[in-house]
Structure 1
Amino acid sequence: MLHHPPQPPPSDFLKRAHTYSIVAYDSVSGDLGIAVQSKFPNVGGLVPWARAGVGAVATQALSNTDYGEKGLELLARGATAPEAMRIIMRSDPQPSQRQVGMVDAHGNAASWTGDSTFDWAGGRTGGGQVGGKGQMITGHGYAAQANIMVSDATVRNMAETFERARGSLADRLIAALVAGQAGGGDRRGMQSAALLVVRAKGGYLGGTDRYIDIRVYDAPDPIKELQRLYALHKLYFFTSDSADLIPITPALQKELEAILLTEPANQPQKWLAAPQPSLNQTFLTALANFMYWENYDVRVRMDSKIDRVALEDIRKNRRNVRR
């Protein structure tokens, strides 16, 4: 029996990004990025902000986009992450309801958790600083923060895993996200996730700074889906590693010709009209056209070699069709 009537939720409750995130800087590559998961749809459209050579921001709880837009502008003008965060907080009418992580292009990091955010809420920064509600903490390299968590294990796991993980910044951010969920994650469950990494001219053919920009709008397991999409992103947008280039042997040429002579399946004209006696220009051009058609643009070659990663995907896709 209820002794007290249930209390209505705050009027802004549905606007809150109940979230755990990590923002980080890679001193080797210069990459800046954010990984985030939430029981909130399209968290990638709200929480992560980043600019190559400037900084990265996660603004959550009752999210205030000023921390993203104005925060990056302040960082671009020379403010450190803690300085930029404090400047914006001074004009924020509701800092107690915000949670923000920020890192600049020199690795200075800051995390703020307002004292009106929902339990469990807090953060950690590189260097071992731990903060709860009503605290700003500073550090170096990264800031991890969360609200409405099962316990502090989510943030602790993210921080410890990020520090131990190897590989690119994106690899380490995703590893941290996986570890955060293993620590309990959002008390209400999972719904969306995002990964944003910026690098100067790191986007498609150098046209943008958005090296990686992946958003899972809504999924039963958004982190698993984020991992799947990240694997696809690497396949279609990362250029070949020299270690993955293999020679097209006579046997491999015959295997590829079987595809080039019969595809595209829905087109009367195929990539090759007849088998070729060698790795001549006709064969290499047909192979390149086929790979462009299949979206392996950044892995196309004309030097009698083929990218092993693309080749494995070509084989896998045709095995799936034959089943």
Structure 2
Amino acid sequence: MTFSIVARSADGDSWGVAVASKFLAVGSAVPAAVAGVGAVATQAWANVAYKGLALAHLDEGATASIAVQRLIEEDDGRDHRQVGIVDVEGGAATYTGSACLEWAGGLTGDGFAVQGNILAGSEVIEAMRDAFEASDPEAPLARRLLAALAAGDEAGGDSRGRQSAALLVVKEGAGYGGFDDVAVDLRIDDHEDPIPELERLLGLHEALSPDVADEDQVPDTPELMAELDARARSLGHPHFAAWMGTHNLEAYGGPDWTAKQVIEELRAATPDWTP
């Protein structure tokens, strides 16, 4: 009832899962990932315990193939399960139980595995593979995963229809404020066309949670901050940080720098400001 891709980025810094299904809130059941460990998708008659178990096996040094083998050896319901795993080195494995509903199957490539069940046909996972391999290896992993998911949907996807989709990407220190590894965690739980909606949310996420290039950073000098604080106060905010938080722009700032874009936005918002 689901099609998914698990993958590692070409630079080896990120791991992720993209999934879609005619199933309510598929993102709550299928994907899991930990930076520096790997990613897993568990589906069909999903054994959600596979997520923690697979990541534990990978964390102990198992390859994706060994992790899959351990999962199915320990599970009496293995014939009804489907799982895809990518490990820390980009090794990938996929498994489809013999009792999964047709069409069901999976395949692997360099750094990724795709799998699905109750699909329109094998062309779904083939299209996902082709789209991922054709995508720019230097592009953000989230974009590459989403391209593969969209290709699978275009090829027929879940034969029962559409309902939900999810995207999970992890990278060391990439979470909010740098306190965890969750770079992207977006879910469309119930929508008539969930993949385009997921793409819309990813665009918002990228705009509000940027990876600011060095050339787009400005030193956080006392003089600059005094100006920005004053401009923010002219708009009714106690200081610049409060203005940033009100507009959900805090990801553009750090302890020692501020993004040029945010400075330009505040200056544009206060054209009549005078010191």
User: Shorter chain as normaliser: what TM range?
Assistant: 0.7 to 0.9
Q: Relative to structure 1, is the Cα distance of residues 39 and 208 closer, same or farther in structure 2, using a 3 angstrom cutoff?
A: same
Is the 8 Å Cα contact of residues 122 and 146 (structure 1) preserved in structure 2?
Answer: yes
Aligned pair partner of 2:153 in 172, 181, 184: 181
- Contact 2:12–2:90 under 8 Å retained in 1: no
- Structure 1 gap segments, 5+ residues each: 1-17, 127-139, 247-255, 264-269, 272-284, 316-323
- Segments of 5+ residues of structure 2 without an aligned counterpart are 219-227, 270-275
| Alpha-carbon offset, residue 297 of structure 1 | 0.1
Q: Which residue of 2 aligns with 1:26?
A: 9
1:261 Cα shift? 7.9
Label 1:310 to 1:232 Cα distance change in 2 as closer, same or farther (>3 A): farther
For residues 130-159 of structure 1, the C-alpha deviation after alignment (integer angstroms, 9 at most, x for no partner) is: xxxxxxxxxx41000011111111101100
- Whole-Å separation in 1 of the counterparts to 2:101 and 2:11: 36
3-state DSSP class of the match of 1:102? strand
Residues 299 and 310, structure 1, Cα contact 8 Å, conserved in 2: no
**In the aligned structure 2, how far is the partner of 1:82 from the partner of 1:58?**
14
Counterpart in 1 of 2:273?
none
1:45 aligns with 2:28: yes
From the superposition, tell whether residues 86 and 296 of structure 1 become closer, same or farther in structure 2 (CA, over 3 Å): same
Deviation of residue 224 (structure 1)?
1.1
Q: Which residue of 1 aligns with 2:123?
A: 153
Matched residue, 1:190: 162
Corresponding residue to 1:215 among 177, 187, 193: 187
Taking structure 1 as reference, are residues 241 and 119 closer, same or farther at Cα in structure 2, changes over 3 Å only?
same
- Structure 2 residue corresponding to 1:108, chosen from 75, 79, 91: 91
Tell whether 2:248 aligns with 1:295. Answer: yes
Q: Structure with the greater relative contact order (CA < 8 A, sep ≥ 6): 1 or 2?
A: 2
Match of 2:18 in 1: 35
User: Aligned partners of 1:44 and 1:303: how far apart in 2?
Assistant: 35
Paired residues of 2:9 and 2:111 also in contact (CA < 8 A): yes
The answer as to whether partners of 1:240 and 1:307 remain within 8 angstroms in 2 is no
| Paired residue type of 1:213 | D
Distance (Å, rounded) in 1 between the aligned partners of 2:44 and 2:89? 26
1:178-209 per-position Cα deviation (integer Å, ceiling 9, x unaligned)? 11111011111111111111111210111111
CA spacing shift, 1:62–1:307, aligned 2, 3 Å: same
Relative to structure 1, the CA distance from residue 72 to residue 304 in structure 2 (aligned partners, 3 Å threshold; closer, same or farther) is closer
Deviation at 1:66, TM superposition (A): 2.8
Structure number with greater Rg is: 1
Q: Structure 2 CA distance, aligned partners of 1:107 and 1:310?
A: 40
Q: How does 1:60-139 map to 2 (within 5 A)?
A: 60-126=43-109
Alignment of 1:281-320 (within 5 A): 286-300=239-253, 306-307=260-261, 311=265
Alignment check: 8 A CA contact 1:245 1:308 kept: no
Q: TM-score, normalised by structure 2?
A: 0.84
The 1:103/1:110 distance shift into structure 2, 3 A limit, reads: same
Provide closer, same or farther for how the CA distance between residues 309 and 80 of structure 1 changes in structure 2, counting only shifts above 3 A. farther
* Closer/same/farther in 2, CA of residues 109 and 304 from structure 1, 3 Å limit: closer
CA contact (8 A) 1:53 1:105 kept: yes
What are the superposed Cα offsets for residues 239-268 of structure 1, whole Å, 9 maximum, x if unpaired?
42345569xxxxxxxxx9xx96884xxxxx
TM-score normalised to the size of structure 1? 0.72
CA-based RMSD of the aligned residues comes to 2.6
CA contact (8 A) 1:30 1:105 kept: no
Q: How far apart in 2 are the matches of 1:188 and 1:61? A: 14
What's the CA shift for 1:292?
Answer: 2.2
Q: Percent identity, aligned pairs only?
A: 41
How far, CA to CA, are the matches of 2:22 and 2:84 in structure 1?
18
**Given that residues 86 and 93 in structure 2 are in contact (C-alpha distance below 8 angstroms), is that contact kept between their aligned partners in structure 1?**
yes
After TM superposition, the runs of 4+ consecutive aligned structure 1 residues lying more than 6 A away are 301-305
Taking a change above 3 Å as real, the CA distance of residues 24 and 289 of structure 1, as seen in their structure-2 partners, is same
8 A contact 1:244–1:309 mirrored in 2 = no
